[in-house]
Amino acid sequence: MLPDDFVAVSRRMVRLQNGRPSQAVLRRALSTAYYALFHTLARCGADLLVGGSGASRSTQAWRQVYRALEHGAAGNACRNGEMLSKFPKEIEDFANMFVTMQDKRHKADYDPTENFWKSSVIQDINAVEQAIKGFKTAPLKDRRAFAAYVLFKIRK
C-alpha cells in the first residue's frame, strides 16, 4: 500500500466522472486524499524507526510502528505550531496539509449537509501530492524526528 497510490485513486475517482461527479464520489476522493497523507506518515515512521524494505528488519515490529499512528494524536501534533516551527518548511507544510485534509475528511465522511465541488477537490488532491513530494525532500533526520513526534507522547 503506497501513499502515491491513494493520490492516484483519488484523482481517478474524480476524473472518471464526466461532468459533475456525485457528492459520494467527491467525498470518497477527499477522504482517500487524506489517507495518502496518513499512510505517508505511517510508512515514514515504520521505515525510519524500524527500517525500510531493504533493511534487515522485523516485519512484525515494522507493522506495529506503522499501525501505531493514530488519527487524532497525529492531527493534534500537527496543530502544535510551536513544535512545528522547529521542523523544516517541508515538514511544516505537510503537517498543515494533514490538518486541513483531516478536517475535510471529517466533513466528507460525517457531515451530510456539506457540499463539495469537483474543482476544489482536484485542487486538494494536487495540494496533497505536493505536500507529500515536499515532505519526502526534507532531511532524513528531520523526518525521523517528526515521525517520533507524532507517534510518541512528549514527556517532560
Distances 92 to 25, 61, 116 between C-alpha atoms, Å: 29, 27, 26
* Cell representation of residue 33: 486524499
pTM exceeds 0.85 for this model? yes
pLDDT tens digits for 73-124? Answer: 999 999 999 999 999 999 999 999 999 999 999 999 999 999 999 999 999 9
Residue 46 · residue 150 · CB < 8 Å: no
Query: Largest Cα–Cα distance in the chain?
Result: 54
CATH numbers and ranges of domains, the chain: 3-151 (1.20.120)
- Which among 156, 126, 153, 133 is positioned nearest to 72, based on CA atoms? 153
CA-based torsion, 131, 51, 80, 90: positive or negative? negative
Residue 143 has pLDDT above 70, yes or no: yes
| Count of all residues that appear for the chain in the document | 156
Helical pair 23-49 and 118-137, crossing angle rounded to 10 deg: 10
